[in-house]
Amino acid sequence: SQKIEQNSEALNIQEGKTATLTCNYTNYSPAYLQWYRQDPGRGPVFLLLIRENEKEKRKERLKVTFDTTLKQSLFHITASQPADSATYLCALPRRDDKIIFGKGTRLHILP
């Protein structure tokens, strides 16, 4: 079955720097991949979707890449701010189109 791997260790980044989070998956390459943000005590919030034929997607300070050869997506936050501190989840569809999620990476932006 499809598995998603995200770095389970927290990532500490100095304010103003670029934060880069990694999502690796096994088995088949999905038609698209998504990133969500989750704050403590809240449900995940959708951020970006990137399709298999797209190398890169941007939204304001966010950038996502999708490398189907490496079976990897990178999620970048440029000019990071303390308000960006949260857990970021990678998600992708199974073959039956149901969405599965990684465990997420906790990001701390240090002032």
Residues that bind other proteins (CB under 8 A): 4, 31-32, 34, 36, 41-46, 49, 51, 89, 91, 93, 97-104
Two structure tokens written together for 109: 């932006």
Q: Is the dihedral of CA 80, 7, 86, 44 positive or negative?
A: positive
- Tell me which long-range contacts 59-64 makes (C-beta under 8 A, separation of at least 24): 62/35, 64/33, 64/35
Tell me the pairing of strands 19-25 and 11-14.
unpaired
- Report the nearest approach of other proteins to the CB of residue 68 (Å): 15
